[in-house]
């Protein structure tokens, strides 16, 4: 076999199968990545004690309702800027929100007195909904990540509220 023939045989037996393998392996990973910033539609965040989540925010309508320190309900219109959405989306990617289980903790008699947080991110093709119970005693890394995501959402909404000045 000539030198040129050996090189062609080597390319066909190693490089071509590697390219085919990469295509087969990475194609589903790339296709199953629906959580892109450009596909972001809306975000809802609700929190409260027991089953009544009297505090909530909806990014589509800008409805922001919460109970303040004087136990009175405050209703406002607060809209997020595209920078806020980009920040929350990048933090969700960094924290790994898309890999969280749908429920962190479990509803029990004890959880009737602890806070509950509902986070929903809606995209064109998919949504991610996570419920976090305040009395979660499982994996501490998962709890830390979920609490960090909750804080990011709260801070972003609070900053948008301050900007609106209403």
Summarised one tens digit per residue, pLDDT across range 5-18 is: 888 888 888 888 88
Hey, which residues does 33 pair with through a beta bridge?
none
pLDDT at 152: 92
Q: Is the pLDDT confidence value at 141 over 90?
A: no
Most trustworthy range by pLDDT among 22-26, 58-62, 141-145: 58-62
Q: For residue 150, how many other CB atoms are within 10 A of its CB?
A: 17
Confidence (pLDDT) at 70: 85
| Separation in Å, CA 2 to CA 10, 15, 104, 135 | 12, 19, 64, 72
Query: pLDDT tens for residues 92-140?
Result: 888 888 888 888 877 666 556 778 889 999 888 888 899 888 777 777 8
Residue 56, sorted as left (phi over 0), alpha (psi -120 to 50) or beta, turns out to be beta
- Its pTM stands at 0.73
**Number of neighbours of residue 44 by Cβ within 10 angstroms:** 18
**pLDDT score of 155:** 93
| 41-91 pLDDT per residue, tens | 889 999 888 777 888 999 999 899 988 888 888 898 999 888 888 888 888
């Amino acid at each position: 076999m000539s030198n040129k023939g050996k090189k062609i045989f080597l390319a066909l037996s190693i490089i071509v199968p590697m390219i085919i393998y990469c295509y087969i392996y990475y194609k589903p990973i790339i296709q199953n990545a629906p959580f892109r910033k450009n596909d972001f539609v809306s975000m809802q965040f609700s929190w409260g004690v027991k089953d009544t989540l009297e505090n909530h925010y909806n990014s589509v309508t800008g409805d922001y309702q919460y109970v303040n320190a004087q136990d009175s309900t405050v209703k406002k219109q607060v809209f997020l800027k595209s920078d806020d959405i980009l920040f929350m989306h990048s933090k969700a990617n960094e924290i790994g929100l898309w890999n969280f289980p749908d429920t962190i903790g479990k509803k029990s008699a004890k959880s009737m007195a602890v806070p509950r947080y509902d986070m929903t991110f809606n995209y064109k093709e998919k949504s991610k909904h996570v419920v976090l119970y305040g009395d979660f005693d499982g994996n501490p890394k998962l709890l830390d990540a979920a609490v960090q995501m909750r804080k990011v959402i709260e801070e972003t909404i609070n900053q948008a509220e301050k900007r609106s000045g209403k």
